[in-house]
Structure 1
Amino acid sequence: MDEATWAVVLPVKRLHVAKSRLRGALPGVPHESLALALALDTAAAVLSCPPVAELVAVTDDPIVGRALARLGARVVPDDPRDGLNAAFAHGATAAGAGRPVAALAADLPALRPEELASALQTARARSFVADAPGTGTVLLTAPPGTALDPRFGPDSAAAHRRSGALPMAGHWPTLRRDVDTATDLAAAALLGVGPATDALIGESHAGNGRDLRPADAVRDCAAG
């Protein structure tokens, strides 16, 4: 599965309800702008990943849809009443049969394409990558002919393991670094976030009259 055959499914909520625990993490920056930036940087990394043939973005937010389509994603509509796992399953169906499919979290602003490529090339069965704390899931993969069967949500790493998915143990710090809180954003910034998120970090701290490097700025924000 080393060729450019993978379809990656990326659900994104409506911006006004997305990433609620991040609200206020960057003073002076609209929350919706930060939620969108996380998704854009994640999508850009996916689209730069050699094994990926297609990015299927699942969303009912028109702003998100237009922005991801401009990057090169195929956007399919979502019904937010059905929840995250239904969105992943819908995207996998839209990707079509006969190709490997990966479900990816949309809040990975530090993601490096080479780390995603390494994880996809490692996957040989239905597998998952846990997040940095080890309790959540950032990536779930399924080979052709195998149902994705997503179990995202609280303690999803354990849920995926119970469902028969195999844990992948590679050293992929930027893949494992999802962002739910200001502290997570600080950790991502130390790894080096993508341009959309980096610009907002700089904008926030410039607006506060502070001359700090972006990683220092967001780390200070998380601490205070």
Structure 2
Amino acid sequence: MPSPSSPLDWVVVAPVKRLDRAKTRLSGRPAPERRSLALAFAVDTVRAALACERVRSVVVASDDAEVRSAVSGLGARWVPDIEGAGLNELVEAVAAQLRLEQPDVALAALVADLPALRSDELRRALEAGGEVARGFVADAAGTGTTLLTARPGSDLGPRFGPRSRAAHAASGAVALEPGPAPGLRRDVDTEVDLWDAGRLGLGPATAALVHGD
């Protein structure tokens, strides 16, 4: 197993809801537009993760055929959702399967609504995560979590959901400080979040919808 100071390569798990159930808090927009935005957020997140030099592969867990087609086209692997499973149960199951396939892999769970994510931000966060057994990056609001990491030999132990920052800290995960990483912290649920992501600089898929780029 690598020593704590050794650079690690990571497998990133990115769960994505069915698009017809995603981004309901963008309720001022028609349902087809919300669906398109949710897909664009996921595409930009996965694209940035795949471009990160510390990421070996990205595994997207989704039962949405449009999501699977889009992320497969980017070079990500997809696995099916688990019927009736919550987000944390799904991440746990995918992580367990990956550890069976690659026992020494370092794992990270990344939310898939980070349209302003930059690969370098993720690289620095994963390098910080390599120094601890389990780590997390808090969201821009300071109450949620956008990234959870686990070195080889450690379980992810996901506790995503309301007040997940506190839940992850209480479980023993360490708050990671990768330097300025506004895109990594800026998940998008509301119009204000989307405006803020636009201020940071949207990925190409989201920019094409929002700005017509």
TM-score, normalised with respect to structure 1? 0.86
Is this contact kept in 1: 2:125–2:177, CA < 8 A? Answer: no
Q: CA RMSD in A?
A: 1.6
Letter matched to residue 151 of structure 1 = R
Is this contact kept in 1: 2:51–2:119, CA < 8 A? Answer: yes
**Partners of 1:168 and 1:53 in 2: CA distance:** 20
**Partners of 2:48 and 2:57 in 1: CA distance:** 12
- In the alignment, structure 1 residue 155 sits paired with structure 2 residue 158: no
**Partners of 1:83 and 1:99 in 2: CA distance:** 24
- In the alignment, structure 1 residue 92 sits paired with structure 2 residue 83: no
Is this contact kept in 2: 1:128–1:140, CA < 8 A? Answer: yes
Which residues of 2 match residues 19-168 of structure 1 at below 5 A?
Answer: 19-25=23-29, 30-96=33-99, 97-123=103-129, 124-125=131-132, 126-168=134-176
- In the alignment, structure 1 residue 18 sits paired with structure 2 residue 26: no
**Partners of 2:24 and 2:161 in 1: CA distance:** 15
Q: Which stretch has the larger CA shift, 96-105 or 106-115?
A: 96-105
**Relative to 1, partners in 2 of residues 1:121 and 1:132: Cα closer, same or farther, differing over 3 Å?**
same
Query: 5+ residue gaps in structure 1?
Result: 204-213, 215-224
Partner-residue secondary structure (3-state), 1:22? coil
The ranges of structure 1 where at least 4 consecutive aligned residues each deviate by more than 4 angstroms after the TM superposition are none
**Partners of 1:133 and 1:106 in 2: CA distance:** 17
**Partners of 1:28 and 1:81 in 2: CA distance:** 23
Aligned match for 1:6, one of 10, 16, 30: 10
Is this contact kept in 2: 1:24–1:31, CA < 8 A? Answer: no
Q: Which stretch has the larger CA shift, 80-89 or 101-110?
A: 80-89
- In the alignment, structure 1 residue 201 sits paired with structure 2 residue 210: yes
Is this contact kept in 2: 1:136–1:153, CA < 8 A? Answer: yes
Is this contact kept in 1: 2:128–2:177, CA < 8 A? Answer: no
1:31 deviates by: 1.5
**Partners of 2:204 and 2:59 in 1: CA distance:** 21
Q: Which stretch has the larger CA shift, 59-68 or 93-102?
A: 93-102
Q: Which protein shows a greater Rg?
A: 1
TM-score, normalised with respect to structure 2? 0.90
Letter matched to residue 7 of structure 2 = D
**Partners of 2:68 and 2:205 in 1: CA distance:** 16
**Partners of 1:142 and 1:28 in 2: CA distance:** 36
1:20 deviates by: 1.1
1:37 deviates by: 0.3
**Partners of 2:39 and 2:80 in 1: CA distance:** 17
1:28 deviates by: 9.4
Query: 5+ residue gaps in structure 2?
Result: 1-5
1:80 deviates by: 4.5
**Partners of 2:172 and 2:31 in 1: CA distance:** 44
